[in-house]
Structure 1
Amino acid sequence: MARLLPPESAAIDVVSREVGVSVATLERWRAQALAAPGELTNNQRWTPAARLEAVITTATMDEAARSTWCREQGLYPAELEAWKHDAIAGLGEPRAASAVEARQDRRRVRELERELHRKDKALAETAALLVLRKKLDAVFRDGEDE
């Protein structure tokens, strides 16, 4: 698509022959790109749920039907295949990663609890020393008055 837009602005019929997409489709895509230059890319427009739905929809299609579907949606079959791999990878990967993360989280919680307990003891000791200091000051001040 970038070849059809400035600065390259290649001829549509040449690009059509090279990539195997019809001239009409390329003209429509170019018009859409020129009409909305700030528009999101295909991957940014497809939500994860829509990607999964596309993978499921095209799973039973043969390659020709899948390619036709992709052209209608403005996708490359490679993008669809990447989404399929991402969906499959997402099925088993998080459990293994979450077990490791859970162990690391438990270890970190124990370390933080130990540190909190140590700081609580130090705070209690400091508070006790301050109370004793005030009592000591009160005793010696009372002695000065007499």
Structure 2
Amino acid sequence: MVITKGTGVGINTLYRWRDEAKNKRGLSATTKYKNADKWSRQDKFTVVLETANLSEIEFSEYCREKGIYPEQVKE
């Protein structure tokens, strides 16, 4: 098993995580839509729905997980 330097995570695990992230619906850290003005209407609607009832801490975690800035969602 190949272990990536400094992390202790196997290369196969990294590939699996990447593939899982690609298969998730909605925005992710690897999305091509980094700017809110380029999001589709569906992406915008999904983010608003998913964040509507989150606390500030949960909202921040959501944004980090999706690779977006809170300001983008608030727009």
Q: TM-score, normalised by structure 1?
A: 0.27
Match of 2:59 in 1: 66
Question: Which segments of structure 1 move beyond 2 Å, counting only runs of 4 or more?
Answer: none
Letter in 2 for 1:50: D
- Compared CA separation, residues 76 and 48, structure 1 to 2 (3 A): same
Deviations 1:12-35, CA, capped at 9 Å, x for gaps: xxxxxxxxxxxxxxxxxxxxxxxx
Of 47, 50, 73 in structure 1, the residue corresponding to residue 43 of structure 2 is 50
Extract unaligned runs of 5+ from structure 2: 1-30
Q: RMSD of aligned C-alpha atoms?
A: 1.8
Q: CA deviation at 1:42?
A: 0.9
CA separation of 1:50/1:64 partners in 2, compared to 1, >3 Å: closer, same or farther? Answer: same
Q: Name the structure with the higher helix share.
A: 1
Q: Which runs of 5+ in 1 are unaligned?
A: 1-38, 83-146
Q: Aligned-pair distance for 1:40?
A: 4.1
Total equivalences in the alignment: 43
Match of 1:124 in 2: none
Higher relative contact order (CA 8 A, sep 6+): 2
CA separation in 1, counterparts of 2:63 and 2:70? 6
